[in-house]
Structure 1
Amino acid sequence: MGEVPKITDLNKVIEPHLPEGSKLVSYESSYLTKPGEHYGSLMLAIKAQIKKSDNTTEELPIIAKLPPLTNDLYWQIFQPERTCVTENSVYKYLSAELDKLQLEAGLLPTELFDGLPRYYGSRISLQEDAKKVDRDAVLLAENLTVRGYRPGNRHKPYDLAHTVLILNYLAQYHALPIALRLKKPQIYDQLVRPYFRKFDMNSNIPEAQNHIMNEETLADIKAVSDDNESDVKRVEELLKIYAEFQAGEDVEDGPFNTLVHGDLWINNLMIKYNDEGIPSKLKFVDFQICQYESLIHDIIFLLFSSVENEVLEANYYNFLKIYYKAFIKCLNSVEVDTSNYSFDAFQAEVQKKAHIQVPHAVFMMKVVMADSSTIPDDYKDVDMSVLSKNRGSKTIIKKLAEILRLAKKFNIFE
């Protein structure tokens, strides 16, 4: 897999986030995942030896997230100049402000939203006054696997229990930034909103490449729909609508606009299980394309990309209710007036926005269900051809057919 990248001056990043008097003595690092499994970044597992103020030493397991250092195509596509700054801001500003908001509303420290990993520092460059992200950028967070959190399996979609847990966490993740905007507008405008502008990952993908990817998607749709002309035409329209959505302007404030994750599928959720093996806690990860948008985008993309077909079919409307109840409960917990948040208004927002995420789910199946053998061992070799290599497979075709069928059934295809 090649040599693990070194992190210069790691001590300067981590020490301000350690208990007073603690110092970084040394560290060992290794690749956390197969490079390329995390599209757009390098993930390192670090064992940091920390000397505490009483001169005892302990090992601190952390994750270091680096931009795509040697893959120039990925640097171009994932635009670390924007994505690193956004992700850092989730940890650096948003997490702390959401904790404070809840504590000030009287929630017990043990009751606070715990869906974000603990932060151990970040930088965008070795130059302290740098305005632009460079190849010395790094983000440090707790190693969740050591704390018992487990990543999902791309090839095993979520069952009912997992989905209910995720929707409850997602509702809080969406509701709290809305509460912060309504209750502390100055803090919100200063520390949050500027970092979550609209982001179009397609803007740096060559037009010819975009065209090929769309044509391949439409060829798959032809295959699953038995050349149903109206289905193919509608997916073509939806691909254009989704591209326009990505390239659109920043949205104005609205009741259901908040900080959406933007990439909420199995790879970006870590789940902890209790002694009986029941899913009990969750952490969201990978906030690079987080942006200010309608919360519906996260809900629909999650359900259609990452939930078992049978579970989704039996529970789609129920899932919307479960999410909504948790959303209102969270707003109430921090004393936000919910009179603008009727269930009818929420359902209207679903009907207005849900169709935009159908082509996103369709396209992402080639990533979600990619055969691991098509992902190179060396991250230097990863490119967008991984998508082409995974088109036409029987499992993907079957899933695409289900997405179309269920989108029609739930009235979010037209």
Structure 2
Amino acid sequence: MESDREVLRPSEITKERVEAALKADKGSEAKMVSFAVQELTKAGENFVTFVVRVNVKFSSENGDDVVSYAVKYDPRRCKAVKDFILACFHKELVFYQNIVHDIQAQLHEIGLKPLRVPKCFYTSLEEHREVIFLEDISKKGFKKSEFEDGLDVAHTTLILEELARLHAASYLLKAKIPDLAEKYPVLNLDWVTYADSARRNTQGLFGNIMDSASKLLRHIGGREVAVAWLEENKTRAAEIIEHELRREPPFDVLCHGDCWNNNVLFRYTDKGVPVEVILLDLQIVRLASLATDLNYVLHTSLEGHTRRENFTSFLAIYYERFTQVLSAGGSAVPFSLEDLTQEYRNHLVYGLIMCLMSVVFSLDWQEDASYSEGGAEFQDQRNKILIRAMADKPQIRDKFLFLIDEMIENGIMV
């Protein structure tokens, strides 16, 4: 839900920066008359940065007009993981400044439509004044899905097809740019590499998440094998994340990295049928197995029964669109649908851990809380809060238990 309420103008959003974005968008002849800042997202969204709408009145040779931009700023707002978020902000900035142009050029060269992401008109990495001005796609009729408990088949299909286009275009790019991370070193920044303290912080974050999950399971009762797995593996959480994000041909591609239902918008027909998706928040874009993106979206954004009942068709839909892009580029698909299915299963642990994170954060997200630090007493208190919260959120409890049962059935938690 959006808001029309004006807000205090952040120091990052200056007249000079708005003018620069306007001219990049509308041409050098466009002259800004005035601008105002208003809320764009509701409370609880956009954990890592602030996002506002900047409305601009301007004049040009065609007369007076208005335009709006979605502006991201203050990557330090989430103090608990500040260094990681700063790295992510840098990655997203480089994606919009450079990487996306390589992807779009590749798709254009083979006669396909551009990747569906917002246009970017201005960026700055000036310390303590970082900012990204993006196209305000809500003005084109894009909005969030109204499914609070999980996406349906139609919405998921659109996401999978667009992920396949991103992945396949980056695969084709290898003929020209064998290693995107060599050209864009920022892609090497990830959970265990973004700073000297990255491994310790990542271990703290995901170790605590796995500890909380085990305590939730103990409270619910049953599933002792899953409790034991979580207790045994929580001390090696960072190692697991690093292993899951390893690059192994032929599946290593440019991944979105954070593709879930909060980071996509849809355009609908008058009858409410979703017909187009646009990918947002490419702040964890990385080179990794395409199966990490698939596991991420299917485990964080769907109800368990939707994922189970449509799993085969979901991978077939993704594979078909991936194949179409490679065929247009004159390249053979380097793996079969069966290979893709196995690769997906090989990364189920990644889907598990990312879904556990979404469950824990959905139960108790506090912007200033340190999820990677704190002693045993702090963690115990937090776990008690999570247990109480789950009692009030049965849909999250169901999602959590379905996930655990799925991992037991697939031989992950043994």
TM-score tier by shorter-chain length is 0.7 to 0.9
Between 1:398-407 and 1:38-47, the stretch displaced more is 398-407
Matches within 5 A, 1:12-161: 12-52=20-60, 54=61, 56-76=63-83, 78-80=84-86, 82-105=87-110, 107=111, 111-125=112-126, 134-153=127-146, 155-161=148-154
Given candidates 265, 270, 285, the residue that maps to 2:265 is: 270
Structure 1 counterpart of 2:210, one-letter code: N
Distance 2:347 2:209 in 1: 23
| 8 Å CA contact retained: 1:198, 1:250 | no
Structure 2 counterpart of 1:214, one-letter code: M
Structure 2 counterpart of 1:401, one-letter code: L
SS class of match (1:398): helix
Q: 1:352 to 1:213 in 2, by over 3 A?
A: closer
TM-score by length of 2: 0.83
> How far did 1:163 drift?
1.4
User: Is residue 162 of structure 1 aligned with residue 155 of structure 2?
Assistant: yes
Distance 1:17 1:187 in 2: 31
Structure 1 counterpart of 2:187, one-letter code: F
Structure 1 regions of 5+ residues with no counterpart? Answer: 126-133
Partner of 2:164: 171
| 8 Å CA contact retained: 1:222, 1:232 | yes
| 8 Å CA contact retained: 1:269, 1:282 | yes
Identity of aligned residues (%): 20
| 8 Å CA contact retained: 1:366, 1:387 | no
Structure 2 counterpart of 1:267, one-letter code: N
Structure 1 counterpart of 2:328, one-letter code: S
Q: Deviations over 1:13-68 (max 9, x none)?
A: 5433432422333211122223542111000111122332x162221111000123
Partner of 1:196: 187
> How far did 1:206 drift?
8.7
SS class of match (2:106): helix
Partner of 2:375: none
User: Is residue 180 of structure 1 aligned with residue 180 of structure 2?
Assistant: no
| 8 Å CA contact retained: 1:176, 1:330 | yes
Given candidates 208, 211, 216, the residue that maps to 2:212 is: 216
Partner of 1:345: 339
Q: Deviations over 1:139-190 (max 9, x none)?
A: 1111121111112357331111111121111111211111112x31269466
Q: 1:391 to 1:122 in 2, by over 3 A?
A: farther
CA RMSD of aligned residues (A): 3.1
Distance 2:49 2:270 in 1: 33
Q: 1:262 to 1:274 in 2, by over 3 A?
A: same
Structure 2 counterpart of 1:317, one-letter code: T
Q: 1:235 to 1:398 in 2, by over 3 A?
A: same
> How far did 1:92 drift?
1.6
Distance 1:280 1:62 in 2: 23
Distance 1:243 1:288 in 2: 20
The count of residues paired between Structure 1 and Structure 2 equals 388
User: Is residue 228 of structure 1 aligned with residue 223 of structure 2?
Assistant: yes
Q: 1:3 to 1:70 in 2, by over 3 A?
A: farther
Matches within 5 A, 1:275-314: 275-314=270-309
Q: 1:206 to 1:323 in 2, by over 3 A?
A: closer
Structure 2 counterpart of 1:326, one-letter code: R
Distance 2:132 2:337 in 1: 38
Structure 1 counterpart of 2:102, one-letter code: E
Distance 2:233 2:32 in 1: 51
Distance 1:387 1:271 in 2: 35
Partner of 1:130: none
Q: Deviations over 1:82-137 (max 9, x none)?
A: 212210122222222222212222x1xxx414421111121111xxxxxxxx2211
> How far did 1:399 drift?
1.5
Structure 2 regions of 5+ residues with no counterpart? Answer: 193-197, 372-378
Q: 1:150 to 1:227 in 2, by over 3 A?
A: same
SS class of match (1:149): coil
